[in-house]
A and B are shown apart, each in its own frame.
Chain A
Amino acid sequence: MLVHLQGSWSPALGRLCMKQLAFLHVPILEYTFAVVALLGLAAVGAVTYFGKWKYLWREWLTTVDHKRIGIMYIIIGLVMLLRGFADAVMIRLQQDMAIGPHSPGYMGAVHGYLTPFHIGQIFSAHGMIMIVFAATPLLVGLMNIIVPIQIGARDMAYPYLNALGLWLTGGGAALVMLSLFIGNFAHGGWYGFLPYFELPYSPGVGVDYWMWAFQLSAIGTSLGSINLIATIVKMRAPGMTWMRLPIFTWASLSTNLIALTSFPVLMVALALVGMDRYLGTHFYTAGMGGNLMLYNDLFWIWGHPEVYFLILPAFGIMSEIIPTFSEKTLFGYATMVIASFAIGGVSWGVWLHHFFTMAAAPSVNSFYSITTMLVGIPTGVKIFNWIFTMYRGRVRFELPMMWALLALSLLIVGGMTGMMNAFASNDYMWHNGIFVVAHFHMMVLVIASSIFGAVEYWFPKLFGFKLEQKWGKWFFWFMVLGTGFVFVPMFILGLAGMTRRLDYIPYTAWGPYLHLEMVGIGLYGAALLFFLAHLYVSLRDRESRRVGADAWGTGRSVEWMTHSPVPSYNFALIPHINARDEWAWRKDNGLTELHPGDYEPIHMPKNTGVPLVLGAFFFTLAFGLTWRIWWLTALSTAAIVIMIIVRSFDTDTDMTIPPNEVERTEKRRSDRASDFIATGVPPYAGGPVGTATAYQRLPEPAGGTGASSGGRL
């Protein structure tokens, strides 16, 4: 059954042997390993020193609280973002050095400092990490935290599955990180390259690492999508009709529908690679009746919906931030919702634009060209809606708003260049070129900007204090500068015909542009330092920036109706929803009391360590498969099956919080929003118009764009 392998294999260790411990012989990896090992030791040491292991285990690792799970998703995302950034720096440095035949070479490279095999691994890891292990966990984490609160629920539909999804993603991320030091990673691009990824041409473990890590995160993400959809459909608070659903929740619903429908196709695409590599089948082989284009087909059936899976939550975030900082209801709520679903729908019919050059019939290419362009319509609707939301609003340029506006601007650039790609005739010229790379980096920066905006925006909700503004603004502006310096030259080089993934640049004339891009990387590096300063100063001075329930003073949706930080049960009493912008409506009508009293017992799920252990076994399963250590594979599989069955016999999974404990928790939360209303002193809001508060009703302008809860369209 199993394929014949090149190289050594032993029953105990599979393909693993001393030679594979890459960090022992590759100079760059020696340093990386030293740094990572030191950081790891420091973390372990710190936890031990402060005696926090028990706390970590009880409050975080075994938690089923959707907010804490979300925070851990975001931490994984940020760590992997850093790793992806390090990869980016290395790629840029190589392309900055290896220009022209006379450029010198170091550390075994003919030009620059990276060998082709090494830079191949770096760009593959960069792309895969950024999409799968940075952007996805960051967005999933945000949705995980915000959606249940926004719909007035106490938890997700499946708290236990939620934790499992987190640990699967964590296991995948760990696998990618491990590939740095043990063995190597795939070297043919993040989306795979068939038949190059077949065993005869890529005999190492790199492709296997890539495949299994991808697969783990795919399983995790699709479990997560089931959970969010079931939560939104079944667990909305009474009174929350579909047309009262907060817009971010709508965006989450549409995006998770994309995940639900498209991820299975990715699993198939990858599983068939696995069968070719492990069992010797011929799905994608060049001969023997395989078809390598089948891989591209299956991969991009998922791949294009995936990019919209990433951008729709970003749109949702922008749709939350812009009304709050314009002090107006969102313009065109219904069209926003329709546009989200239209984008989701169309994204399912455009995937061939990633391989226009396959040689499909002209009618096929034309069809996909046109469907691709159709996506511009709903996207345009959204852009205009955001602009009309700001129109005649009281716009405050606080950090979340600045990020949202940056996202909006980048979206226009990315969308326009996407339209240029959509012409098959254009794409024939620059497919697999740097222009395409610049296009999608505009798009992923839309996502990144919205995520930073969301972190600024919702941070006080979770932690009870705001992040400071000074270093945050330095961070923001250096991100803007970095983006300009890296990507404007990249667009120009793309039109000049530079192809992607080069380890050596043959034309010295491209040098100046590549040097400019290196400057941009320097600016990004500075931005990173400002980000750290931003976090540090915020944490240090947190006492001076404590906030109440309505942290920004002009929040509109349900999440601002509970205390900051949010108690574990979210709402002492489930809110009854009366309007679309419920909190704005309550403020308009003076109904801001958040201590209703007469508390009732609350049922909550109990913590459990099972998901973490399952995640660990999935990790060892993937590791065993990667290295073909069959006993480990069998053992992990058996452990997983047995644990799932045994857990299903456990009936002690819930607990009840008695009313007096709820009351005690509630009393401890001083709720500043209601204090302010009582005393008439507005909370800090900042911005050019001075202190603005949400309780002041804006004079209703003609034309129905007023601040009241209704809002037409």
Chain B
Amino acid sequence: MSGHAANPLHHPEVSIANGKTYLANFVISVALMTVALLVVLSGMAPFDVFLVTTAIGGLTVIIQSYLILHTDTSRGQFWHTFSLLLFVPLFIVTIGLTAWMFHGLYQRTMIMPARSGASPMSLHTRAGTR
């Protein structure tokens, strides 16, 4: 059922491995995570921490998926990248719409305890117009 003759070590997904990018990925990721940790320990306002760490996390994930998951548009990787891009909106929908629905639900059905905000959603409320 297959091309038996070809040496598996010459497959494009083997030759894609690259020590330099893996090393670069390690250095960048560790640096970004360190910054994120320092932001948290710095005593910044919670909502700012929330925003900054989210941004750093998002950036790290994008860098990692390019450097180590090899999500590019080369011939060997095209379908991997394509299917990932198909999933990303669904991740956002799953988490985002759920958060939105329950945010309204909690506001309308729960007694808000006195303790300060307890979720990204309630942080949001506090920073908002209320």
Q: Which residues of A contact B (CB under 8 A)?
A: 154-155, 233-234, 257, 261, 265, 291, 293-294, 297, 301, 348-349, 352, 358-361, 363-364, 603-605, 654
Contacts and interface: CB of A to CB of B under 8 A. Distances in A.
**Nearest 7 interchain pairs by C-beta:** A361-B104, A603-B1, A360-B101, A360-B104, A360-B105, A364-B101, A261-B90
Nearest to B4: A603
Contacts of A297: 98, 101-102
Interface in B83-104: 86-87, 90, 93-94, 97-98, 100-102, 104
A363 B108 CA distance: 13
B42 interface: no
B1 A604 contact: yes
Given A291-B102, A349-B93, 5 more contacts: A297-B98, A359-B109, A360-B105, A361-B105, A364-B100
B107 interface: yes
B94 to A, nearest CB: 6
B86 A257 contact: yes
14 contacts: A233-B79, A234-B79, A261-B87, A291-B102, A293-B102, A297-B101, A297-B102, A352-B97, A360-B101, A360-B104, A361-B104, A361-B105, A363-B104, A654-B1
Main secondary structure of the interface of B (DSSP, over half): helix
Contacts of B97: 349, 352
A364 B104 contact: yes
B43 to A, nearest CB: 28
B7 interface: no
Contacts of A360: 101, 104-105, 108
A361 B108 contact: yes
Contacts of B108: 359-361
A301 B104 contact: no
A364 B100 CA distance: 8
A214 B98 CA distance: 23
B104 A265 contact: no
B74 interface: no
Nearest to A235: B1
Nearest to B97: A349
Contacts of A154: 1
Nearest to A654: B1
Contact of B93 (A348, A605, A654): A348
Nearest to B1: A603
A337 to B, nearest CB: 15
Nearest to A361: B104
Greatest chain A CB density within 10 A among B1, B93, B94, B100 is at B1
A363 B104 CA distance: 9
A139 to B, nearest CB: 22
